[in-house]
Structure 1
Amino acid sequence: MELIQQFEKAVAESKNLSEKPSNETLLQLYSLYKQGSLGDINIDPPTNPFDIVNKAKYNAWEALKGTSKEKAMQDYVDLVNRLKG
């Protein structure tokens, strides 16, 4: 199966996990998804200092800057497979 198809399948499967992942794992899924689908971060950081959730999302995605889309997609697929057990 082609990587893009595996990635899309993993995205669908991530919505039906038997238990909710930790916040740290959710951030990892988010950042790998964004990097795999859009590439390097292309948005401005949140300006509200109290917007902790969006700041964490921004920082997680920014940390992957320079990672290829293919590597991010593969890492996402691997993570979802681990979460599925």
Structure 2
Amino acid sequence: MEQEFRKALNYIKDTSNPPLDTNNEQKLDFYALFKQATDGAPKGSAPSRLKVVERAKFMAWKAREKLTKEEAMREYVALLTKLAPKWRERAKL
């Protein structure tokens, strides 16, 4: 699963691939799943309500804190597959 997750990350980072058509919720999902897969559960408390973006990112990550590293990777790949079904054909390792 880790190799497929890395492939998915490389696909998203590769600017030669078509951009994903994502809404803010999906962007938060990608962020939260990435953080959970790479860093584990969030530590500390949520940023101030005045820091809207930082708080939204933290809360999205916090909502997934019970996922294992592997589950977060699997959900990340599933989200990418939903948005770009043929991503594996263009992905580089």
TM-score by structure 1 length? Answer: 0.85
Q: Residue 74 of structure 1 corresponds to which residue in structure 2?
A: 74
Query: If you compute each CA radius of gyration, which structure gives the higher value, 1 or 2?
Result: 2
Q: How many residues align?
A: 82
Q: Structure 1 77/51 Cα, relative in aligned 2: closer, same or farther at 3 Å? A: same
- C-alpha separation in 1, matches of 2:55 and 2:45: 10
Deviations 1:31-71 (A, max 9, x none): 00001111111243213x32100000000000011111100
Contact 2:35 2:61 in 1 (8 A): yes
Contact 1:40 1:62 in 2 (8 A): yes
Q: Structure 1 17/59 Cα, relative in aligned 2: closer, same or farther at 3 Å? A: farther
Identity %, equivalent residues: 35
Q: Residue 47 of structure 2 corresponds to which residue in structure 1?
A: 46
- C-alpha separation in 2, matches of 1:8 and 1:19: 17
The unaligned stretches of length 5 or more in structure 1 are none
One-letter identity of the residue aligned with 2:39: L
Instruction: List structure 1 segments (4+ residues) > 6 angstroms apart after TM superposition.
Output: none
Cα drift, residue 17 of structure 1: 4.3
- C-alpha separation in 2, matches of 1:52 and 1:20: 23
The RMSD of aligned alpha carbons is 1.5
Cα drift, residue 10 of structure 1: 0.7
Contact 1:18 1:84 in 2 (8 A): no
Helix, strand or coil for the counterpart of 2:56? helix
Q: Structure 1 44/17 Cα, relative in aligned 2: closer, same or farther at 3 Å? A: farther
